[in-house]
Structure 1
Amino acid sequence: MPIDHLMKTVIISPGIATYGAMLIGGVVRDAGHEVRLSTALNAGDADVVLLSLFSTQHLMDPAIRDFVAGVRASERPVYIGGPVSAYPEYVLGELAPDAVVVGEGEETVPRLLGRGVSPDLPGIAFSDGGRIVITPPAPPVPVQYRPLPLIPDDIGRQSIRGANAYIETHRGCTGACTFCQVPRFFGREIRSRNLDEIRKEVRAFREKGAVRLSVSGGTGSLFGYHGEIDDDAVIALLQMLAEELGPKNVSAPDIRVDAITDEILEAIRKYTIGWLFYGFESGSDAVLRQMGKGVTVAQMHEAVERSRQHGLKVAGCFIVGYPTETTEDYEATKEFIAEEMLDDVFVSVAEPIPKTPLADLVLRTPHERNPVYAPHEGEYRSLRLTEAEARWFDLSQHADMYKPLLHVVTDEVFNMYLAEARKQGEDVRRVTALIERYEKGGDER
């Protein structure tokens, strides 16, 4: 339906005020619209609702589905954007919004608010009489200069892995990990922001009460990248953040093991909380190749050694239950953790994000050969876990045993790990069923 130029808008990011929602809020505000940001499913008196969804699980959330239906029943438009827009057919099929903003939304959203759904508007998807229309993509957005985000007044109370917010320093990733949608969403070319613009943004967050900020953008050390790591650019970024926030209030996580230099590691020690979060994913070279990580276990060991030479704490992220992961592959991951005695460990069951190579692999893998479905027949058999769930449960306890500081697995911790293992397994099976329904027509295998 036609829409007036100026709209009273609410942007909803369920549960967490994400950076993407704040950024779009700033764009909408500077376009002249009245806008507010909410983490609750509450449209209030808004003329139009923008939902910023960052997880495939959101598509299967009955509360979100009912909310969208209720807003549309009140004859107010609902638009959905965020990372889920990488698979707009799923969003339209599951939640039935008026349109999906596909990809980067800074230019598309204001046009959508001003003109409404139109087949000549780039970067959207919508249903037309049961037929899904996906318009040509909008061009990549210049990121050097842009409006300040719409920052909530209570941002200082939010905690995402210890930070009040993750701020974007660049877009794109040079990697090609099969389970990740970052290079598929933003591209593999690195687009870095202007340093002074980032400083203005940091000050705006600080004025709203933010105490600790974290560097986002996939791999933090790719800021300023032009074919090779730019030490000076990364160091200048971290130094600026420390000047604005204090060095103990800056976090620079999520770095690839092949994207570090001694100069950057020293800057991380000097200007941040002193932690690194590496996406190791597996201790098996075979699985790393299947994941498209582009690194080896030897490089992982070297990265840990170099980081500790600079006095840094090292945390690692690992994925279990990859469709091709064998018992030997999993044991190699346990050996890596035991050898390196990481300061912290985060474990995930491999979740196939739609439209990624991992999702294609899952579709080709019969359930009986997929660790997410295959029953565990080992030492945790009495717990009735799948193989992937058992590996999550086992690796979490194993990692606690090898952390430098003593971690005791009490009954409470045991039960917490058990519940989380089952939840992750169930979440992945729900996503897998969703992918099968859209990509294979729900065929039984």
Structure 2
Amino acid sequence: MKIALIAPAWHDPLWESEKEKSIFPPLNLITLAALTPPRHEVTILDESLTDIDYNAKYDLVGISAMTALAPRAYEIADAFRAKGTTVVLGGMHPSALPEEASAHADAVVVGEAEGLWQQLLSDLEDGKLKPVYRPEERPSLEHMVHPRRDLLNRDRYLVPDTVQTTRGCPFACSFCTVSRFFGKSFRFRPVEDVIQEVAELEGEVIAFIDDNIVGHPGYARRLFTELARLPRKIKWFSQGSLNIARDEDLLRLAAASGCIGLFIGFESLSPGNLKAVGKAVNRVEEYREAIKRIHDHGIAIEGAFVFGLDEDDESVFEQTVKFAQENRLEAAQFGILTPFPGTPLRETMEREGRITCNDWREYTISKVVFEPKNMSARTLQEGFNWAWQEFYSLGSISRRLGLVKKHAPILWALNLNIRKRFYHFLERIRTGNFTLPRPSLAK
């Protein structure tokens, strides 16, 4: 069979890629390609970088989508089905709402694809395709296939080498989809399997696409030790929790293994907010010292903060930006609280009647789709806009990064790129080419 695996493009100017280059390749799709028996011909279509030819002849089209990309995924699916092509949908959003996705697909894969994908292909060849495929248990990560990176144009990605070492997250934050999709406990790849895959990569910089690479300190310690022993020195970054700052030995090993940066979810400066969303493991009183310890090992931090939690009022924006600037975070991601399907947060907000918009295109964490408790929706949106604008002002970038900080050229390039994206976001709003949801009219 001829199979096309498609990653829909973002159309939010804050997140969309330029046609010339994207940041990461679609690791999920090249992993699916590796799970596909070699008798089938697989094409990867990353819509961020290429236009989709709906007249191309495929026996099967597979599309993966997060919530904000679901409407675009459905458009693509409908267009191919109109041509008589069989379409399969999977990923975070179809897994959360398989009945909705089924209206646009011949089959929906719920959850992780290992095992299910091979069965689906066999059923399709036998003319026995089922409408929904669900796993009986979560797949083991032992002997995972190595993704089909040969199907990518490496030059089109800023960081073409991405690797996954773990799945699952024990924190189960109420607003996060990860624990619903991957489970609330960690599963690990054998360290030797990870090292073998890393040794085969071409680039010097690797992104470990883990939700919390230090979530199990013992595993992380073994992984970092073996990475440090590689004959070819690498640089890597990933997502991690602040818990790493409580373990000096683990920090030292991370730095020695090539860690140059961590994306860390601070979420809030309010202990009450953290407790309410299920992340009391974050201790606000330890934030400053934790940041210092991580910085002392030469590891940059991109901090993630959520605006619109129930204890937030209009003072939260200035307090959060000031904190991030004073602690010289190399980058920050500010997001608006978003009640994604399948999360406890959405269930709570539905009971309370606070969701004001169900257009999935607006679920980009850059738009207000619910009624906040202690400020208006407009104040939340404007505060979000101000936070990005202030944190990525040239003066703020200069004060945070200077010229002598480790990896300064890379960090300056990152900040200027984010700044460019945000101003594109504002310009699209100003010119009317991009609109924000109006909660008062969406009820």
Q: TM-score range, shorter-chain basis?
A: 0.7 to 0.9
Structure 2 spans left out of the alignment, 5+ residues: 10-23, 357-369, 404-411
**Aligned counterpart, 1:251:** 236
Paired residue for 1:24?
32
Confirm or deny: 8 A CA contact 2:109 2:133 kept in the other structure. no
- Does residue 103 of the first structure (1) align with residue 115 of the second (2)? no
Deviation of residue 189 (structure 1)? 1.4
Are residues 413 and 187 of structure 1, via their aligned partners in 2, closer, same or farther at CA, if it must alter by over 3 Å?
A: closer
SS state at 1:316 partner: strand
- Give the conservation status (yes or no) of the 8 Å contact 1:29–1:35: no
> Distance between the aligned counterparts of 2:337 and 2:160, measured in 1?
27
Q: 1:171 to 1:268 in 2, by over 3 A?
A: same
- Pair 178,259 (structure 1): closer, same or farther in 2 beyond 3 Å: farther
Aligned to 1:183: 179
Say whether residues 1:298 and 2:285 are aligned partners. yes
One-letter amino acid matched to 1:374: A
Match of 1:380 in 2: none
Using the alignment, how far apart are the partners of 1:155 and 1:103 within structure 2? 28
Q: 2:67 is matched with which residue?
A: 56
Q: Residue by residue, what CA displacement relative to the aligned partner does 1:189-241 show, whole Å, maximum 9, x if unpaired?
A: 1110012222332244x2xx44421112211113xx3xxx21xx323323444
Deviations along 1:251-308, one digit per CA (max 9) or x if unpaired, are 1321111244211211222221432322112222232223322212123223212213
Q: State the structure with bigger RCO (CA 8 A, min sep 6), 1 or 2.
A: 2
SS of match in other structure, 1:36:
strand
The answer to which of 326-335 and 394-403 deviates more is 394-403
Is the partner of 2:335 in helix, strand or coil? strand
Q: Which residue of 2 aligns with 1:381?
A: none
Q: Spell out, residue by residue over 1:30-50, the C-alpha distance to the aligned partner (whole angstroms, 9 max, x if none).
A: 5x4332322143463321111
Distance 1:250 1:109 in 2: 33
Distance 2:231 2:333 in 1: 27
Asked if 1:315 corresponds to 2:302, the answer is: yes
SS at match of 1:277: strand
Q: Partner residue of 1:47?
A: 59
Residues 444 and 339 (structure 1), Cα distance of their counterparts in 2 relative to 1, 3 Å cut: closer
* Structure 1 counterpart of 2:425: 420
Structure 1 segment 264-279 matched on structure 2, within 5 A: 264-279=250-265
Alignment match, 2:378: 375
Aligned residue in 2 for 1:149: 147
- SS of aligned partner of 1:85: helix
Q: Which residue number in structure 2 is paired with residue 139 of structure 1? A: 137
What's the counterpart of residue 115 of structure 1?
Answer: 123
Aligned to 2:87: 78
Report which stretch shifted further, 421-430 or 351-360: 421-430
Whether the aligned pair in 2 keeps the contact of 1:8 and 1:35 (CA below 8 Å) is: yes
Q: Which amino acid aligns with 2:239?
A: D
Residue of structure 1 in register with 2:101 after alignment: 92
- Measured in 1, the distance between the counterparts of 2:144 and 2:419 equals 47
**2:44 maps to amino acid:** L
RMSD over aligned Cα atoms: 3.9
For residues 189 and 310 of structure 1, the distance between their equivalents in structure 2, rounded to whole angstroms, comes to 29
| Cα contact 2:159–2:206 (8 A) shared by 1 | yes
User: For residues 315-374 of structure 1, what are the alpha-carbon distances to aligned partners after superposition, in whole Å with 9 as ceiling and x for unaligned?
Assistant: 312222345521243343234224312222222233332221333354442658438972
Contact 1:170 1:191 in 2 (8 A): yes
Residue 360 and residue 324 in structure 1: after superposition, are their counterparts in 2 closer, same or farther (change >3 A)?
farther
Q: Identify if the C-alpha distance between structure 1 residues 428 and 108 changes in structure 2 by more than 3 Å, giving closer, same or farther.
A: farther
**Distance (Å, rounded) in 2 between the aligned partners of 1:417 and 1:136:** 39
Identity of aligned residues (%): 21
Shift of 1:176: 1.6
Structure 2 residue identity aligned to 1:264: L
For residues 134 and 400 of structure 2, the distance between their equivalents in structure 1, rounded to whole angstroms, comes to: 50
- Tell me the distance in 1 between the aligned counterparts of 2:418 and 2:75: 35
Q: Does 1:220 align with 2:213?
A: yes
Name the CA distance, whole Å, in 2 between partners of 1:308 and 1:110: 45
Q: State the TM-score, normalizing by the size of structure 1.
A: 0.75
Tell me, yes or no, if the aligned pair for 2:108 and 2:133 is still in contact at 8 Å: no
Task: Report Cα offsets for 1:387-423 as digits up to 9, x if no partner.
Answer: 443444445449537514278xxx9998853543687
| C-alpha separation in 2, matches of 1:198 and 1:304 | 28
Change (3 A) 1:283 1:117: farther
Which residue is equivalent to 1:174?
170
- Provide, for residues 154-203 of structure 1, a one-character-per-residue CA deviation record: whole Å limited to 9, x for no partner: 453244xx532321101111112122111111111111001222233224
Letter in 1 for 2:179: P
Q: Answer yes or no: is 1:69 the counterpart of 2:78.
A: yes
- Report SS of the residue matched to 2:162: strand
AA in 2 matched with 1:251: W
SS of the aligned residue for 2:238 comes to coil
Question: Equivalent residue for 1:352?
Answer: 339
Structure 1 stretches lacking a partner, 5+ long: 1-6, 127-133, 378-384, 434-442
User: Would the aligned equivalents of 1:173 and 1:189 in 2 still touch at CA under 8 Å?
Assistant: yes
Q: Give distance in 2, aligned partners of 1:422 and 1:323.
A: 30
Offset of residue 101 of structure 1: 0.5
Between the aligned partners of 1:175 and 1:361, the Cα distance in structure 2 is: 18
Aligned in 2, Cα 1:389/1:311: closer, same or farther, shift over 3 Å? closer
